[in-house]
C-alpha cells in the first residue's frame, strides 16, 4: 500500500500494492508496528527482515519511485514525505508505532525524526548516524535527544576489521552464555593433513562440542558424520569454551606482530580504522584518489601516511611495499573493486587481506576468490537493530557473512512450545541445531534425548532466516497452530 501525504493540507491518497509477500510461517509472538524512515538499501533490507518476522511495517521516504519499487516486492505500507515532519509522523498510518527506525542518508534527518517521534508518542527510536563528530557527541547525549539506539555502521565495521586483523589465523571465535559457550570458525587448507579429505565420523575430537555447519564455496551445509572435509571448507563448531579452545589450538599458527597496514579508500571506515590501528602503534598508509579527502585525512590523522593515488595501480602497491604488508584492507565504495584488489594484494604478497562488501550476493565470492575475510556494514546495522527489537529475549545474534546462517542465544520461557520437551521431539524447523544449553551455571552439549527446561539459555545455529521461528517457540504464546 502506498500513502502519499501531501505537504499542503495533509491530503492522503491510498493505492494498494498488487503483490503480497507470502508469509509461510506461523504467527510470530509480540508483533510490533514499526516505522522505517528511509527506503534506501539499508531501509529495504531492514523492512524485508521485519516483515519476515511478522511485524507491521510502514516505510517513509521522499522518493516516490523507491516506495513504488518497495511496495511491488513487499507487503508493506509506504508513505511519501519527510521523516522529520511532525505532521507526517502524526499521520494515522504511523500513530501508535512501537518503534521508529531512521536510516536515511542524512544524519540530521535521522536525529530529528527520532526527536520528533518521541514528541508524538512513539516510545522507542533508532537512528543511523555516520558522521564522526555527531556519533561521538551522541554517545554522551543520545538520551537527551530522544534516541534509544545510535548505530554507526562504519565505526562498527572498523572495529570488526581490527578484530579480524588481530585474530590468530585461521581461527575466529564468538562468545555466548557469558563466554562459557563459544562459536569457532576454522578454515581448512592443505596443511591440515589430519583433517582434509577425511570423514567427520573418523575425526578424534574433544568432548562437549558439535560441528554445526560447513561453508563450502559459498553454500552452507548441515554436516553429517559421512561428510568429507575438503580444503577451503569453513567449519563452524559450537561447544564449551574449554573444548573449543582446545580444538582451536590445533589450528592456531604463530602470528607475528602486525606492523604495516595499507588501507585502500579514504572513507569513514578508513578514518575510524586508521585511527584505531595507529593508536596501537602500527604503521598505517591510506591510498585515496580525491585530493580534498586526502587533505582532510592527513589533518585528522597526523600519525597516518595519506597517499594520493590509485589503489588499483600495481606499480604503486609494489612501491609502497605490498609484499611486506601485514594487512591490506579494501574499503572503497565499489564492492567489485574491493574484492578484486584484495585478491590482487594477496597475490602480490600481503599477509592478510580484508574487503568491504555491501551486497550480500557478493559474499560467496569471498571464499571462491581467496580473500581472507569480508565485512558488511549493512549486515552489522541489521544485526544491531534486530538485537534491539528483540530485547531481552534474544541475548545475542551473529549473522554469518553471506546471511545463509545465523547463530543466536535465547531464553526458553515457561509455558512455551519448547519448554519441557525432549529435543528430538520438539518440532524445531529443518536446518536448526541446538548446539548448547546453559542451565544453572552448567553447560550441556545436548543430544536428542535431552529435555529442554524453562529458563534454559539455548545457543542455536539456524540456516536461512529461521531465527524468528525458533524465538517464537521459546516464548509463551509465541506460535499457534
Q: What is the CATH number of the domain that holds 404?
A: 3.30.70.1450
Number of domains observed in the structure of the chain: 3
Q: Which residue has the cell 507470502?
A: 22
- Do 10 and 141 have their domain in common? yes
Between CA 1 and CA 80 the distance in angstroms is: 11
Angle between helix 153-165 and 268-279 (nearest 10): 40
Q: Is the peptide bond before 291 cis (omega within 30 degrees of 0)?
A: no
201-226: per-residue pLDDT in tens? 998 888 888 898 888 877 788 888 88
Same domain, 140 and 48: yes
Residue 23 has pLDDT above 70, yes or no: no
Handedness of CA 70, 408, 231, 190 (dihedral sign): positive
Out of 127, 151, 175, a domain closes at 151
Range 311-338 average pLDDT:
91
In the prediction, which pLDDT does 54 show? 81
Contacts of 76 (CB under 8 A, 6+ apart): 1, 17, 21, 47, 51, 57, 58, 59, 70
Confidence class for position 5, pLDDT limits 50, 70, 90: very low
396 pLDDT band, cuts 50/70/90, is low
Last residue of a domain, one of 151, 167, 187: 151
Compute the distance between CA of residue 46 and CA of residue 444 in angstroms, rounded to an integer.
34
38: left (phi over 0), alpha (psi -120 to 50) or beta: left
pLDDT tens for each residue of 32-76: 899 999 999 889 988 988 888 788 999 999 999 999 988 888 889
Residue 64 is predicted with a pLDDT of 92
Note whether 6 and 145 are same-domain residues. yes
Asked if residue 251 belongs to a domain, the reply is no
Q: Please check whether residue 232 lies inside any domain of the structure.
A: no
Q: E strands of 266-412, at which residues?
A: 283-288, 305-308, 327-330, 353-356, 373-375, 394-399, 405-411
Q: Structural domain of residue 317, as residue ranges?
A: 260-375
Question: Does pLDDT of 173 surpass 90?
Answer: no
CA distances from 216 to 183, 187, 227 (A): 18, 10, 12
SS3 content of the chain, % helix, strand, coil (to 5): 35, 25, 40
> What values do phi and psi take at 479, rounded to 5?
-135, 140
The residues pairing with 452 across neighbouring beta strands, listed in sequence order, are 421
Q: At what angle do helices 377-390 and 41-52 cross, to 10 degrees?
A: 40
**Pairwise CA distance, residues 428 & 279, whole Å:** 47
pLDDT bucket at 304, cuts 50 / 70 / 90: very high
| Contact of 237 with 212, CB cutoff 8 Å | yes
Q: What is the mean pLDDT of residues 417-444?
A: 90
Lowest mean pLDDT of 61-65, 103-107, 273-277, 462-466, name the range. 462-466
What cell does 349 get?
A: 604478497
CATH number for the domain spanning 338: value is: 3.40.50.720
Q: What is the pLDDT of residue 141?
A: 58
Report the distance separating Cα 113 and Cα 99, nearest Å: 12
**Do residues 138 and 8 both lie within one domain?**
yes
Would you say the C-alpha torsion 401, 405, 411, 413 has a positive or negative sign? positive
Position 250 in a domain: no
- For residue 158, what pLDDT is reported? 92
pLDDT tens readout for residues 79-95: 999 988 889 998 888 98
Residues 27 and 112 in one domain: yes
Distance, in Å, from the CA atom of 78 to the CA atom of 61, rounded to the nearest integer, reads 8
Assign 473 a pLDDT band (cuts: 50, 70, 90): confident
Residues 13 and 135 in one domain: yes
Q: Do residues 414 and 288 share a domain?
A: no
Q: Which of 151, 179, 200 is the last residue of a domain?
A: 151
Q: What is the pLDDT of residue 331?
A: 95
The more confident residue out of 479 and 461 is: 461
274 and 369 part of one domain? yes
| Same domain, yes or no: 97 and 14 | yes
- Of the pLDDT bands very low, low, confident and very high (cuts 50, 70, 90), residue 9 is very low
Same-domain pairing of 56 and 108: yes
* pLDDT given for residue 403 in this prediction: 61
pLDDT the model gives residue 3: 38
Return the closest-CA partner of residue 8 out of 63, 86, 66, 87: 87
pLDDT above 90 (res 136): no
Place of cell 580444538: 247
Q: Are residues 27 and 143 in the same domain?
A: yes
For CA atoms 27, 32, 35, 41, give the dihedral sign.
negative
Q: Is residue 224 part of a domain?
A: no
346 and 421 co-located in one domain: no
Amino acid at each position: 500500500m502506498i500513502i502519499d501525504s501531501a505537504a499542503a493540507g495533509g491530503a492522503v491518497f491510498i493505492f494498494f500494492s498488487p503483490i503480497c509477500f507470502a508469509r509461510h510461517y506461523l504467527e510470530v509472538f509480540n508483533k510490533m508496528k514499526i516505522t522505517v524512515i528511509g527506503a534506501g538499501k539499508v531501509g529495504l533490507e531492514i523492512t524485508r527482515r521485519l516483515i519476515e518476522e511478522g511485524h507491521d511495517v510502514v516505510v517513509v521516504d521522499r522518493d516516490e519511485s523507491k516506495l513504488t519499487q518497495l511496495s511491488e516486492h513487499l507487503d508493506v505500507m509506504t508513505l511519501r514525505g519527510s521523516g522529520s515532519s511532525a505532521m507526517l509522523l502524526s499521520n494515522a498510518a504511523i500513530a501508535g508505532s512501537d518503534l521508529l527506525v531512521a536510516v536515511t542518508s542524512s544524519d540530521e534527518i535521522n536525529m530529528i525524526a527520532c526527536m520528533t517521534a518521541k514528541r508524538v508518542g512513539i516510545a522507542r527510536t533508532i537512528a543511523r548516524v555516520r558522521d564522526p563528530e555527531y556519533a561521538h557527541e551522541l554517545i554522551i547525549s543520545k538520551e537527551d535527544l530522544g534516541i534509544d539506539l545510535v548505530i554507526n555502521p562504519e565505526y562498527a565495521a572498523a572495529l570488526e576489521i581490527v578484530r579480524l586483523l588481530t585474530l590468530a589465523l585461521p581461527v575466529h571465535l564468538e562468545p555466548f552464555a557469558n563466554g562459557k559457550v563459544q562459536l569457532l570458525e576454522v578454515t581448512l587448507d592443505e596443511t591440515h593433513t589430519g583433517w582434509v579429505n577425511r570423514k567427520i565420523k573418523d575425526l578424534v575430537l574433544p568432548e562437549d562440542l558439535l560441528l554445526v555447519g560447513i561453508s563450502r564455496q559459498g553454500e552452507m551445509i548441515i554436516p553429517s558424520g559421512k561428510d568429507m572435509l575438503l580444503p577451503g571448507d569453513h567449519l563452524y563448531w559450537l561447544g564449551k569454551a574449554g573444548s573449543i579452545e582446545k580444538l582451536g589450538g590445533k589450528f592456531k599458527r604463530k602470528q607475528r606482530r602486525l606492523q604495516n597496514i595499507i588501507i585502500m579508500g579514504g572513507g569513514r571506515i578508513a578514518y575510524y580504522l586508521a585511527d584505531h590501528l595507529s593508536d596501537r602503534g602500527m604503521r598505517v598508509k591510506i591510498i585515496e584518489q580525491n585530493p580534498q579527502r586526502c587533505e582532510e585525512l592527513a589533518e585528522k590523522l597526523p600519525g597516518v601516511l595519506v597517499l594520493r593515488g590509485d589503489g588499483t595501480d600495481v606499480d604503486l602497491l609494489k612501491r609502497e611495499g605490498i609484499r611486506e604488508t601485514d594487512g591490506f584492507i579494501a574499503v572503497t565504495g565499489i564492492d567489485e573493486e574491493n574484492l578484486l584488489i584484495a585478491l590482487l594484494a594477496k597475490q602480490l604478497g600481503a599477509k592478510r587481506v580484508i574487503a568491504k562488501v555491501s551486497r550480500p550476493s557478493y559474499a560467496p565470492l569471498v571464499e571462491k576468490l581467496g580473500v581472507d575475510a569480508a565485512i558488511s556494514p549493512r549486515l552489522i546495522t541489521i544485526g544491531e537493530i534486530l538485537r534491539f527489537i528483540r530485547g531481552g529475549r534474544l541475548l545475542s545474534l551473529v549473522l554469518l557473512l553471506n546471511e545463509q546462517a545465523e547463530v543466536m542465544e535465547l531464553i526458553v520461557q515457561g509455558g512455551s512450545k519448547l519448554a519441557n520437551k525432549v529435543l528430538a521431539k520438539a518440532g524445531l524447523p529443518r536446518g536448526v541445531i541446538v548446539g548448547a544449553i546453559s542451565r544453572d551455571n552448567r553447560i550441556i552439549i545436548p543430544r536428542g534425548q535431552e529435555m529442554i527446561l524453562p529458563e534454559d539459555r539455548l545457543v542455536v545455529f539456524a540456516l536461512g532466516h529461521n531465527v524468528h521461528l525458533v524465538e517464537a517457540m521459546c516464548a509463551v504464546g509465541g506460535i499457534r497452530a
